[in-house]
Amino acid sequence: MNALFRRLAAACAVALACQGQTPRFISVGDVELPIVTHPEFYSDCRSAADSISSRELAFASIAFTFTGVPERSDPSKHFFTVAVDTQRSYIQIPTVTWPNMTQADTQHLAYLNQALEVHERGHLAIAVALADQVTAEHRAVQSADDARVQAAAFVRMDEERQVQYDNLVSHGIHQTRAPAALRGNDTIFYCK
């Protein structure tokens, strides 16, 4: 399913470029993921605000690739490496609208989307940092079974760190509580 979304994101990026719009991405280091948007229509500002405040609005779908790299001095030995799989990963952020939106509504939603992007960039930064850390440790891999065990352990570590991050910042509602490198505006929306 993630591969399908990645291809869809690429197709949407091309379609946007053809319509004169610029596709958007979130980057951490040399890892760049597309932002996939989906429309959410509401009857008015109040119903949009109620929906937005009752759930996590955006999400990062991050997949990884795991490989064994031969050791230079002994090609029969392999080291475990991890990277974010940019072909199967994406960030999803909604495009919220309702009839008769004012300029203030549009500006407030733009502010919310910027805050959501900062929050989702935090998820990507955590994944990239952990992948880089595990790769830098040069963990030896003796067999395919050993590689599967290490991959499963890595996924659990990533999930734990992602949950800790979301708990710390309440899924972005309190993004100002994040460590400095991940800090941003809170993802709060209300009607003016």
140 has pLDDT over 60: yes
On the question of pLDDT at 151 being above 80, the answer is: yes
What confidence tens digit (pLDDT) does each residue in 160-179 have? Answer: 999 999 999 999 999 999 99
pTM of the prediction?
0.85
The full set of domain ranges for the chain reads 2-182
Q: How far apart are CA 159 and CA 18, in angstroms?
A: 37
Q: Are 82 and 135 in contact (CB under 8 A)?
A: yes
pLDDT tens-digit profile of 175-188? 999 999 999 999 98
Return the H-helix or E-strand segment holding 77.
Answer: none
Tens digit of each residue's pLDDT (9 = 90 or more) over 55-98: 888 999 999 999 887 778 877 778 888 999 999 999 999 999 99
Residues near 12 by Cβ (< 8 Å), separated by ≥ 6? Answer: 23, 34, 36, 37
Judge whether residue 33 has pLDDT over 80: yes
